[in-house]
Amino acid sequence: MEYLLSLIIACPLVACFFVFMFDDGGAKRFGRIISFIELGLIVALWIGYRPDVVDVQFFSKFFLIPQLGIDYVVFVDGISLFLVILTAFIVFIANIYLRRLDDAKPFVVCLLALEGILIALFLSENVLMFYTFWELALVPILYMVGVWGSGQKVYIALKFFVYTFASSVIMLLAIIYMGYLCYEQTGVWSFNLSVWRSPDIHIPLETQIWLFWGFFISIAVKIPIIPLHTWLPHIYSEAPALGSVMLSALLSKMGTYALLRFVLPLFPDASIHFMPIISVLAVVMIVYAGIIAFKQKDIKKVIAYSSISHMGIVILGIFSFNSEGISGAIFMMVAHGITSGALFFLAGMLYYRTMTRHISDFGAVATVMPHYSAFFGVVMMSNVGLPLTIGFIGEFLSLYGYFQTSPIITALAGTTLIISAVYMLYLFKNIFYGEFLGNKSFLERLKDLNFREYCVVIPITAVIIWLGVFPNVLLKPMQISVQQLIATMNAFAREESSRTHLLKVNGGLIGPMILHRYPFNEESFYDTQQNHLRFNPHEERMDEQMRKTLEKLIEEYQSSLLHQESMNEKNSLESPLPNSESGNTQPYSSSIRDNNQTIQDRSNQ
């Protein structure tokens, strides 16, 4: 099981090289088989995941360039687990949906490559590795839009590239500077998140502010957060149906995941400092995007602005900084991926039959496509946030979590329940039950769902209802990871006001932060009371970075002990200290030699 995550990442990426061995029909079948195998592997990961374990699970590491801190490090916890499952599920459904008769092979390659890249991104612990996949995710989407899009597809693809790449360069500079801070304070280059979160790293508020914005600007473009959203409506509407699904259901989650994984634990003071500004932007997203969605005449643009509005709720949940809000935000990320993806699937099915997306071109569709109308209605209710659907729990918990911070902002954000109901019911009524003003032969040509389309909508509808009725399937496994995230923020917050705010929004109850086994562990540091270095007996390996850090730590304590000895008069070098276990005595000098020997023995292993 140690290499299960690596197998999950490699499976779709390696399969890309074999797609061109088949014709277009064979390539589509091959893509479905690979995505089904990938989904099976991830279900096995879900079954093997232990929600009661605080430590990271399925950890795997390979050294690439240790001198520069560039490693392959992957793990899974309650925050990333369900985003990985969401990715595999959506790509599997997308491969079933794929209907292209020609050019199917490059499209299958794009789907499988994007699946492997996104899963690797969600599992990465090394920040440079994360950034690499952050940028690589652009390639399949740009190809989908630039080749198979409609309208000004090349211009739209270039606009998307310029926005995302330019903002990502800012994040890269922040990452490199964090690596430099790590080197400056610990003596080793490292880009591993666990090293950055070690007690040796101290980031003052002024530095946190600059690094926070370095990460946040890139994340804000990817989500996107208003006013950095202008690329989204055009690319969502002009991309092929599956391109819109990938953008809305999966790529938008990259940004919110980066907030949870990197921004909040690394820059807790800056995150709390700018929380009011971010919250106002989130409310603007919710209200403004909802109003604009109501004014749209294009089906896909309605869904696009609806997506922006719902991601605003996710932002509020994340910046609530409490267990309810963050759990709701993660749940909402999954719910939004399922619901918005389903809406784009359904919009693509209608466009394939009519070759139009203009709402006024439709009417009375329910009379000729009753099954399609029923499934669209279920997905619409989930998008509105109706109880007993997947869309309700995430919205409720996110808003409830932020209520602890600001009831007024929560009340403003709560208007999304009304606004989303207005524009979605308007869309549903006009398409399915409105008056049709065109040629009746247009309606008569419409056919209800075929077998492949049933295979797309039935699993999605089942998930919408299942997780709406049994939300603890998602909420329970993520609880410990969410609590550890909050505890990490509290432990590394330098400002008293930050810790006070965290205690306030969490009801005064924040659990202890548990350092993960690798590469740092609370049992691997010098014990000042027992005057010796304690190692975790369960630790099987020690990398170069950890050894150097521990050696530096021991040298500092040795210097301190020798200074104390020199201050004593006659028996300083032979002054006994009680042994930690038995109460026996041993001299300082022999204790130091034992410590050095312990380090040497562990290093040789």
Q: What is the mean pLDDT of the chain?
A: 84
Phi, psi values for residue 449, rounded to 5°: -60, 140
Q: Calculate Rg over the CA atoms of the chain.
A: 27
Tell me: the pLDDT tens digits for 21-54?
998 889 999 999 999 999 999 999 999 998 887 7
Of 94 and 525, the one with more pLDDT: 94
Is the model's pLDDT at 593 over the cut of 80?
no
Which of 183, 204, 202, 203 shows the shortest CA–CA distance to 192? 183
- 514: which residues sit within 8 A by CB, 6+ positions away? 54, 55, 484, 487, 522
In DSSP notation, 245-299 reads HHIIIIIHHHHHHHIIIIIHHH-HHHHHHTHHHHHHHHHHHHHHHHHHHHH--BH
pLDDT at 64: 75
Calculate mean pLDDT across residues 90-112. 89
pLDDT band, very low/low/confident/very high, at 101 (cuts 50, 70, 90): low
pLDDT at 491: 86
Token pair recorded at residue 593: 């030699």
Enter the DSSP assignment of 18: G
Q: Rounded to whole angstroms, how far apart are CA atoms 329 and 138?
A: 24
Q: Is 183 helix (H, G, I), strand (E, B) or coil?
A: helix
Phi, psi values for residue 188, rounded to 5°: -135, 145
pLDDT at 248: 92
63-67, 222-226, 442-446, 601-605: lowest mean pLDDT where? 601-605
Is the model's pLDDT at 377 over the cut of 90?
yes
CB of 310 closer than 8 Å to CB of 232: no
Token pair recorded at residue 356: 């139009």
Q: Rounded to whole angstroms, how far apart are CA atoms 211 and 175?
A: 8
Which of 449, 350, 341 shows the shortest CA–CA distance to 91? 341
Is the model's pLDDT at 538 over the cut of 90?
no
Distance of CA 554 to the CA centre of its chain: 37
Of the CA atoms within 13 Å of residue 45, those in its CB half-sphere come to: 30
Q: Rounded to whole angstroms, how far apart are CA atoms 140 and 160?
A: 13
pTM of this prediction? 0.83
Is the model's pLDDT at 537 over the cut of 80?
no
Is the model's pLDDT at 278 over the cut of 90?
yes
Which of 462, 464, 431, 422 shows the shortest CA–CA distance to 358? 431
The sign of the torsion formed by the CA atoms of 46, 49, 50, 54 equals negative
SS3 annotation, 412-429 = HHCCHHHHHHHHHHHHHH
Phi, psi values for residue 197, rounded to 5°: -95, 15
Is the model's pLDDT at 520 over the cut of 60?
no
Which of 587, 571, 589 shows the shortest CA–CA distance to 579? 587
Q: Is 314 helix (H, G, I), strand (E, B) or coil?
A: helix
CB of 332 closer than 8 Å to CB of 395: yes
Is the model's pLDDT at 540 over the cut of 80?
no
pLDDT at 453: 93
Helix, strand, coil content of the chain in percent (nearest 5): 70, 5, 25
Is the model's pLDDT at 115 over the cut of 90?
yes
Name the range with the highest mean pLDDT among 63-72, 159-168, 434-443: 159-168
Q: Rounded to whole angstroms, how far apart are CA atoms 286 and 448?
A: 34
Enter the DSSP assignment of 17: G
CB of 163 closer than 8 Å to CB of 221: yes
Q: Rounded to whole angstroms, how far apart are CA atoms 308 and 312?
A: 6
Token pair recorded at residue 277: 């500004």
pLDDT at 563: 57
Of the CA atoms within 13 Å of residue 559, those in its CB half-sphere come to: 6
Distance of CA 49 to the CA centre of its chain: 18
Cα dist from 368 to 45, 356, 437, 455, 471, whole Å: 43, 17, 15, 20, 35
The dihedral formed by the CA atoms of 455, 461, 466 and 472, expressed in degrees to the nearest 10:
110
Tell me: the pLDDT tens digits for 342-366?
999 999 999 988 888 899 888 889 9
pLDDT band, very low/low/confident/very high, at 512 (cuts 50, 70, 90): low
Q: Is 62 helix (H, G, I), strand (E, B) or coil?
A: strand
